Amino acid sequence: MATAISAIKGRRIGLLGGTFDPVHNGHLAAARAVRTQLGLDAVLLLPAAIPPHKSSGRISSFTRRASMLEMAVAAEPGIFVCLVEQERGGPSYTIDTLIYLRKKLPAPRFYFIIGADVFAEIHTWKDYDDLPWQAHLVILNRPGWAAANAELMASYFPAFAYDQSAMVWQAEASPGKFYFLDMPPLDISSSRLRRKIAAGLDVNAYVPPAVADYISRHGLYGIRNQESGIRNQVTGA
């Protein structure tokens, strides 16, 4: 069962958002790594209810995506599913979600987690320059991206400078900091998994067993039926 906002414990809370269509082992590895490296009390996975940058007709229903997430974290200590973006309603803009969470939970410090490729497009987000006033930002770095990230910081967050001793980017007036954490490259993405599933390929190595079983049982992503040779189409998938 998803974690209610009122049940969130701890003062250092990581937030990992996304469509999670489907959730895969890379998502879980990222949540674990950030929690360990930054000493967070918990990491919340926030499935987007209405992703503003994606057509809602091309993603699985919120209920299915949330169900797969709950299965994926069932045995993951310190990692939880929070349905806050469905609760607050409207498009799932990150800035609106952070403001909503800070009103509901004024005490914790939030650490919003994104990949380096997503960070490169952060200027397209709603009120992106207000993000560090609502949370710390944790960017999952890729090998060789250090110079590119410095250029992105200079372009999009010019008030921030790198503090070598603390290994963070910070600005005098901002409560939020930028953490760039090195992550081993994982050749996995939800879009690639959907293509593999549609082609009838085995994805058991990329998703938790319960998620693989759920996808198969519900015929998600146009999964090829090996017995009849047809594709099962699921509404909203």
Q: Which domains does the chain have, with CATH numbers?
A: 5-182 (3.40.50.620)
Angular region, 173: left φ>0, alpha ψ -120 to 50, beta rest: alpha
- For residues 87 and 101, give the distance between their C-alpha atoms in angstroms, rounded to a whole number: 11
Nearest to 181 by CA among 37, 44, 79: 37
Structure confidence by residue, pLDDT tens digits, 82-116: 999 998 888 899 999 999 999 888 778 999 999 99
Alpha-carbon separation of residue 235 from 63, 158, 218, 231 (angstroms): 12, 45, 11, 13
Alpha-carbon separation of residue 61 from 24, 44, 77 (angstroms): 17, 20, 26
197-210 in b/e form (b: 16+ CB < 10 A) is beeeeebeebbbee
Structure confidence by residue, pLDDT tens digits, 142-188: 777 777 889 999 999 999 999 999 999 999 999 999 999 988 777 78
Provide the pLDDT for residue 34: 96
- pTM score: 0.89
Reduced to 3 states, what is the DSSP secondary structure of residue 147? Answer: helix
Provide the pLDDT for residue 235: 28
Provide the pLDDT for residue 232: 33
Per cent of the chain over pLDDT 90 is: 70
Within 73-139, residue ranges assigned H as helices are: 84-88, 94-104, 116-119
Both ends of the chain: CA-CA distance in Å? 22
- For residues 149 and 157, give the distance between their C-alpha atoms in angstroms, rounded to a whole number: 11
